[in-house]
A and B are shown apart, each in its own frame.
Chain A
Amino acid sequence: MSGAPVIAIEGVTKAFGDREVLKGIDLEIAEHEAVALIGASGSGKSTLLRCIDLLVDIDDGDILLDGEVVTDPSISAVAVRRKLGFVFQAYNLFPHLNVLDNVTLGLSKGTGMSAAEADESARKMLARFGLEGREKESSSNLSGGQQQRVAIARAFAARPRAMLLDEVTSALDPELVGEVLRAVRDLKEEGVTMLIATHEMSFAREVADRVGFLHEGRLAEVGPPEQVLESPRDPNTQKFLRRLLEAGRA
């Protein structure tokens, strides 16, 4: 399927009050492609992801999912969100539900699966991310890394067209980052289309097919990881990467 990109972002702008967060973003993500978004905090990475999942209303431009404009107000946001998986920086697991129910809630209420089907596919999904045997536990008993893997299983359980990952490792203790990245790598190997906002440069280099550098609400540079991360053309990308290098984070 080399037709329309899975996600197409066309001239998207968004302001919160006077603060322009996105100032005209254009980006296409092809089937099976993983695009990493890098950039300083506040550069608009999260807002862009939230706009795609229709958690935030855009001001101008269009977002297309499989060639269909989804930012048309007449389109059901619920139907669009069911085709996308979103993983939050702070996991946002449902604390009143156990691990298994965190995954089945969307399956049974959202996609209308029967309880038995939802149960079975949630168990499989949890096992896939190394959480077998933890199904009945409260999510608060889990480590941050395990919680984020539950969140990934929850987002991926309904087999979305694309996964949107919002800084999925930045709330984690350093020793727990690896297991979450492994889960994302696993998705990449399966050819899942992904848009990944991240601070982990080495991870962006390894997993992403393309890297986009977001600077003050604009995509300053998009290209293959080796180009953007090794020999950036944009002066702001150069500055950003130099600062990361100085901090020992690249």
Chain B
Amino acid sequence: MEANAAKADRRAERAAARRRRDRRGIAIAALSTIVVIGGLAALVLTSAGWPAVRETFFNATVFKESFPDVAKAFWLDIRVFMVVEVAVLALGLIVALVRTSVSPAMFPVRLLAIVYTDIFRGIPTILLVYLVGFGIPALANSGAEGSSSLSWLPTEPVVLGAIALTLSYGAYVSEVYRAGLRSVHPGQRDAALAVGLTERQAMRHVVIPQAVRNVGPPLLNDFISLQKDVALISIIGVTGEAFQVAQIQASSGFNYTPLLCAALLYLAVTIPLARMLDRWDRGRVR
């Protein structure tokens, strides 16, 4: 009996010690956060240049004035992003499937797919946007007035920008998919064939679903990257895009707060995506 009581005492003591340790940990973390963040804030806010910085980048009046316009323009970014994303997912998968095919008849297509990924992954996206955005209208307008054989080509800047982004990101995403296809254990294909599926059915019902699942996080990472690169289409004269609107407002008043509005809007999309990515990764490890 006494021995049991002593055991219970020790158990209670251990629990109390654990609680004390936890409390101390929280207190230390809180204190160090206040000291470090507070110190930094004090340093910045009391520095001689701060009023000028605040005036140029964090001007509340300018913010209130420009935010509605920039936010409205951001809707175009979102739409372009969504359309391009769907196109990229499809193009990337097709290119990856072509590259992993083994049939001899596919050889020329396979070669083209390799050339495509090599070239479009190696060209800066901004250069590609410029090239497509100005190059294709030039082709469409070549030759005598209205008689060009290439006049059917699109000349709408938004469309051209979307095409350029699709070509650039399609090359990246195809490599992500290809890694995914390789990551599926060969035993899965064997099992699919063994239950009587054809090669094509095995690919479609067994290998591709697992490949896509395996590369979810890197795909999402490319989404995040694409979402902010949509701003690049402003360089080929797309009007009403968030960065472009913010830029015009900023340059008219030498106040850069509108750009900050745009930055906040981009972050409002990319940060939740990044958190989703973290959660997804954690879920996979578990």
Contacts and interface: CB of A to CB of B under 8 A. Distances in A.
Interface of A: 50, 53, 55, 77-78, 81-82, 84-86, 88, 90, 92-96, 105-106, 109-111, 154-155, 158
B197 A94 contact: no
Contacts of B194: 53, 55, 81, 84-86, 88, 155
Interface of B: 185, 187-188, 190-198, 201, 205-206, 209-210, 213
Contacts of A93: 191
A77 B194 CA distance: 10
Given A92-B188, A95-B210, A96-B209, A109 B201 contact: yes
Given A94-B206, A96-B209, A105 B195 contact: yes
Contacts of A84: 194
A78 B213 contact: no
Contacts of B210: 94-96
Given A78-B198, A84-B194, 18 more contacts: A77-B193, A78-B197, A81-B193, A88-B187, A88-B190, A88-B194, A95-B210, A105-B195, A105-B197, A105-B205, A109-B196, A110-B195, A110-B196, A110-B197, A110-B201, A154-B195, A155-B195, A158-B195
A82 B190 contact: no
Contacts of B196: 78, 81-82, 106, 109-111, 158
A86 B191 CA distance: 8
Nearest to B206: A94
A95 B206 CA distance: 9
A13 B195 CA distance: 25
A158 B196 CA distance: 9
Given A90-B187, A92-B190, A94-B188, A106 B213 contact: no
Nearest to A160: B196
A77 B198 CA distance: 9
A127 to B, nearest CB: 19
A106 B197 contact: yes
B186 to A, nearest CB: 10
Contacts of A77: 193
Given A81-B196, A105-B205, A109-B205, A88 B191 contact: yes
16 contacts: A78-B193, A85-B194, A86-B194, A88-B187, A90-B187, A93-B191, A94-B206, A95-B210, A105-B195, A105-B197, A106-B195, A109-B196, A109-B197, A110-B201, A154-B195, A158-B195
B191 A94 contact: yes
Contacts of B192: 94, 105
Nearest to A104: B195
Nearest to B211: A96
Query: Which interface residue of B185, B193, B194, B206 has the most chain A CB atoms within 10 A?
Result: B194
Contacts of B201: 109-110
A86 B206 CA distance: 17
A155 B192 CA distance: 11
A203 to B, nearest CB: 22
B205 A55 contact: no
A158 B195 CA distance: 8
Contacts of A50: 190
Contacts of A78: 193, 196-198
Query: Which interface residue of B185, B190, B195 has the most chain A CB atoms within 10 A?
Result: B195
